[in-house]
Amino acid sequence: MQTNMSYASSTITMLSPVNVSDEIRKAGQEDIVFIHTPKTGGTNIACLMKAIGADSGSVFNHRCSVMRQEGVSPNLFKPGGMGGYPSPEALENLKAQHSPRFISGHMPTGLIEEGGLQGRYISLVREPVARAVSSLNFDYQRGYLAKEDVATYAGSTMIDNLQTRLIAGKDHMDGECTEDTYRAATQKINDEFLLVAPTEAVDAVTSVVARLYGEEKVATARFQVTGNKLYDEKSPPEHLKSILIGRNQFDTRLYKHVVKEWENFTNHHVTGGQAGNEESPYLTLPPDMLTTKAWKRLTAHEINEHNQKAGGSLLRFQQK
Residue 6 lies in a domain: no
Total of domains in the chain? 1
pLDDT over 90, % of the chain: 88
Look at residue 276 in the predicted model and tell me its pLDDT.
66
149-176: pLDDT as tens digits: 999 999 999 999 999 999 999 999 999 9
Arithmetic mean of pLDDT, 133-141: 95
Residue 299 lies in a domain: no
DSSP secondary structure letters along the chain: --TTEEEEESS-EEPPPEEE-HHHHGGGGSEEEEE--TTSSTHHHHHHHHHHHHHH-SSEEEEEPPPPBTTB-TT---TT--TTPPPHHHHHHHHTSPSSEEEEES--S-HHHHHT--EEEEEEE--HHHHHHHHHHHHHHTTS--GGGHHHIIIIISPSSHHHHHHH-GGGSSS---HHHHHHHHHHHHHHEEEEEEGGGHHHHHHHHHHHTT---EEEPPEEE--S-SS-TTS--HHHHHHHHHH-HHHHHHHHHHHHHHHHHHHHHEEE-----TTSPEEEE-TTHHHH---EEE-HHHHHHHHHHHTT-EEEEE--
Residue 310 lies in a domain: no
Look at residue 317 in the predicted model and tell me its pLDDT.
86
Arithmetic mean of pLDDT, 16-32: 95
Arithmetic mean of pLDDT, 288-317: 93
Residue 319 lies in a domain: no
Arithmetic mean of pLDDT, 142-148: 93
The number of angstroms, rounded, from the C-alpha of 180 to the middle of its chain's C-alpha atoms is 25
Instruction: Give the CA distances from residue 98 to residues 30, 31, 118, in Å, rounded to whole numbers and listed in that order.
Output: 10, 10, 11
Containing domain of residue 267, as a range? Answer: 21-215+232-272
232-251: pLDDT as tens digits: 999 999 999 999 999 999 99
What value does the mean pLDDT of the chain take? 94
- The yes-or-no verdict on residue 275 having pLDDT over 60 is yes
Residue 14 lies in a domain: no
CATH classification of the domain holding 245? 3.40.50.300
- The yes-or-no verdict on residue 93 having pLDDT over 90 is yes
The model's pTM is 0.96
Instruction: Give the CA distances from residue 258 to residues 213, 268, 269, in Å, rounded to whole numbers and listed in that order.
Output: 24, 15, 16
- The yes-or-no verdict on residue 34 having pLDDT over 80 is yes
Look at residue 319 in the predicted model and tell me its pLDDT.
65
Residue 277 lies in a domain: no
Confidence category of residue 1, pLDDT binned at 50, 70, 90? very low
Residue 300 lies in a domain: no
Arithmetic mean of pLDDT, 176-189: 98
Confidence category of residue 120, pLDDT binned at 50, 70, 90? very high
Residue 282 lies in a domain: no
Determine how many CB atoms are found less than 10 A away from the CB of residue 97: 13
How far is residue 208's CA from residue 19's CA, in Å, rounded to a whole number? 8
pLDDT over 70, % of the chain: 97
